[in-house]
Amino acid sequence: MVLNRWAQRFEGLFDDGNPQVVRRLQQGRNLLASGRVTGVQVNRGAVSASVQGFSATPLAVEITLPVLTDDEWTLVVGALASQVRHRARLLAGQVPDGSDSQLEGHGLSLIPRRSELDVTCRCGDAVVPCMHAAGVWLAVARAIDEDPFTLLKMRGRGRERLLADSATVRGGGTAAVPAGQPLGSLPVAAWLSAARDVDDLVPAAPAAPRTSAGPLRLLGDPPGWTGGVSAGDLFAPLVTRGATWAAALLDDPAAEPPPTAND
């Protein structure tokens, strides 16, 4: 089985030629091939699964890794948005050609360093990874091969947000990066009194969003979400209805909520 480039690099992260590690990796492959690695969960900064080893009770395994900073994500989004084919290949389940070298030019890699990984397994094996952690690691490599967005999610950003940010950059905007200001530079008086009479403030009706429930879709599915429908698709009608009602309340405080599809 030939894995894509990201999956190959991810799978080989522990393989340093140490005979003990090589043996654990082979044992992990056997566990994975025999279906004893189950419940694999890929979340922001962590992967976990249950592994049935030699004992009667399955072992819970977790491997944590650092997420990228906002500045690092700005570089990643810029690389993905630099060429239309990068985005197209990701959507097709393929690794974008040339994106790695772009990031490495900035000293950044999507593949974490081995020293950044923290492996938790109660099997008691002193070798890292133990065969159970190796099985989970190899299972995640397979998931990255099937969907490269898996690696990006582990590093801190979900599919929907990445696609939205890359589209923003390609459209001439800037990816959403939280701006900051030192607290010491803020005037204390501004926290104690309003700059103007609040009765003079007239809220303007917000423009209709280009994407229904856009912020919800940018957040992506919450950890552990299962089912055939994304959280965005499931809750978008409710969010849209609430937003419509909120806009109506600006003009009429007694406005009734809009009818639902079942009304």
pLDDT score recorded for residue 177: 46
Average pLDDT over the chain, rounded to whole? 83
Of 181 and 109, the structure prediction assigns the larger pLDDT to: 109
**Measured between alpha carbons, how far is residue 229 from residues 44, 171, 232 in Å?**
20, 29, 8
pLDDT score recorded for residue 24: 95
Closest CA to 155 of 196, 110, 118: 110
DSSP 8-state symbol, 244:
H
pLDDT band at residue 61 using 50, 70 and 90 as cut-offs:
very high
Query: How many C-beta neighbours within 10 Å does residue 7 have?
Result: 23
- Which of 35-44, 122-131, 140-149, 222-231 shows the lowest per-residue confidence on average (mean pLDDT)? 222-231
Q: Is the pLDDT of residue 218 over 90?
A: no
pLDDT average, residue stretch 231-256: 82
Evaluated on CA atoms 3, 157, 70, 102, the torsion sign reads: positive
**Taking a C-beta distance cutoff of 8 angstroms, is the pair 151, 99 a contact?**
no
Q: What are the pLDDT digits (tens) for 68-87?
A: 999 999 999 988 888 888 87
Q: Is the pLDDT of residue 66 over 70?
A: yes
Neighbour order of strands in the sheet with 118-120: 37-43, 46-51, 59-64, 118-120
Full DSSP string of 73-109: HHHHHHHHHS-HHHHHHHHTT-PPTTHHHHHHTTT--
**Spatial distance between the Cα atoms of 227 and 235, rounded to a whole number of angstroms:** 13
User: Peptide bond preceding 129: is omega within 30 degrees of 0, i.e. cis?
Assistant: yes
Q: Is the pLDDT of residue 1 over 70?
A: no
**Spatial distance between the Cα atoms of 139 and 148, rounded to a whole number of angstroms:** 14
DSSP 8-state symbol, 57:
S
The pTM (predicted TM-score) of the whole model is 0.64
pLDDT band at residue 198 using 50, 70 and 90 as cut-offs:
low
- Which of 12-16, 39-43, 194-198, 247-251 shows the lowest per-residue confidence on average (mean pLDDT)? 194-198
Q: What are the pLDDT digits (tens) for 120-158?
A: 999 999 999 999 999 999 999 999 999 999 999 999 998
**Spatial distance between the Cα atoms of 152 and 34, rounded to a whole number of angstroms:** 28
pLDDT score recorded for residue 179: 47
φ and ψ at residue 50, rounded to 5 degrees: -105, 135
pLDDT average, residue stretch 88-112: 86
pLDDT average, residue stretch 207-216: 68
pLDDT score recorded for residue 101: 86
Q: What are the pLDDT digits (tens) for 162-186?
A: 888 888 887 665 554 444 556 666 6
pLDDT band at residue 201 using 50, 70 and 90 as cut-offs:
low
**Taking a C-beta distance cutoff of 8 angstroms, is the pair 223, 213 a contact?**
no
Number of H helices, E strands in the chain: 11, 4
